[in-house]
Structure 1
Amino acid sequence: MSKIPVYFMPGLAASATIFERIVLPEDIFEMCLLEWEIPLDNESLQDYAKRMTQNIKHPNPVLIGVSFGGILVQEMAKHITARKVIIISSVKSNVEFPRRMKIAKTTKAYKLIPMRLILNVESLAKFSFGEKINKRLKLYEKFLSVRDIRYLDWAIEQVILWDRIKIDESVVHIHGDQDEVFPIKYITNCKVVKGGTHIMILNKFKWLNENLPKIILE
Structure 2
Amino acid sequence: MKKQLYLISGMGADERMFRYLQFPPEYDVHYLPWLKPQPNEPFTDYAARMAAGITTEGPVSLLGLSFGGMISLEIARQRPVEKVILISTIKNTRERPAYFNLVRRFRLYRLNSRWMFRQRTFVVQFYMTAKTPEEAALLKDYLRNSDFDFMYWAIRTVIHWENEELHSAVVHIHGSKDHTFPLKYVKPDYTINGGGHFMIMNQADEINRILSREL
Judge same fold: TM > 0.5, yes or no.
yes
With the length of structure 1 as denominator, give the TM-score of the two structures: 0.85
Match of 1:53 in 2: 51
CA contact (8 A) 2:73 2:166 kept: no
Structure 2 contact 9–64 (Cα < 8 Å) conserved: yes
**Cα distance in structure 2, aligned partners of 1:136 and 1:37:** 24
Deviates more, 1:54-63 or 1:152-161: 54-63
Deviation, 1:29, is 1.2
8 Å Cα contact 1:15-1:146 kept in structure 2: no
Question: Once the two structures are superposed, what CA deviation does each residue of 1:41-79 show, in whole Å capped at 9, x if it has no partner?
Answer: 221110000111111122211101011100011001111
For residues 74-103 of structure 1, the C-alpha deviation after alignment (integer angstroms, 9 at most, x for no partner) is 001111100101110000112111111111
Aligned-residue Cα RMSD (Å) equals: 2.4
Q: Tell me if structure 2 keeps the 8 A contact 1:60–1:83.
A: yes
Alignment of 1:8 with 2:1, yes or no, is: no
Alignment match, 1:175: 174
Is residue 2:90 matched to residue 1:91? yes
**What's the counterpart of residue 126 of structure 2?**
none
Structure 1 CA distance for aligned equivalents of residues 80 and 176 of structure 2: 31
Superposed counterparts of 1:101-140, under 5 Å? 101-119=100-118, 137-140=136-139
- Paired amino acid for 1:56: I
Q: Counterpart of 1:19 in structure 2: which amino acid? A: F
Task: Look up the SS of the partner of 1:65 in the other structure.
Answer: strand
Instruction: Return the index of the structure with the highest Cα Rg.
Output: 1
Identity over aligned pairs, percent: 31
Query: CA offsets, 1:111-145, max 9 Å, x none?
Result: 21345544578x98xxxxxxx99866422134458
3-state SS of 2:77 partner: coil
Number of aligned residue pairs: give it: 206
Deviations 1:163-183 (CA, angstroms, capped at 9, x unpaired): 213455532111111111111
> For 1:77, what is the secondary structure of its paired residue?
helix
1:92–1:145 CA distance, 2 compared to 1 (3 A): farther
CA separation in 2, counterparts of 1:200 and 1:148?
A: 24
Aligned equivalents of 2:73 and 2:47: distance in 1? 9
- Which has the larger displacement, 66-75 or 138-147? 138-147
The letter for the 2-side match of 1:79 is Q
Residue pairs, 1:1-218, within 5 angstroms: 2-26=1-25, 28-58=26-56, 59-119=58-118, 137-143=136-142, 147-168=146-167, 170-216=169-215
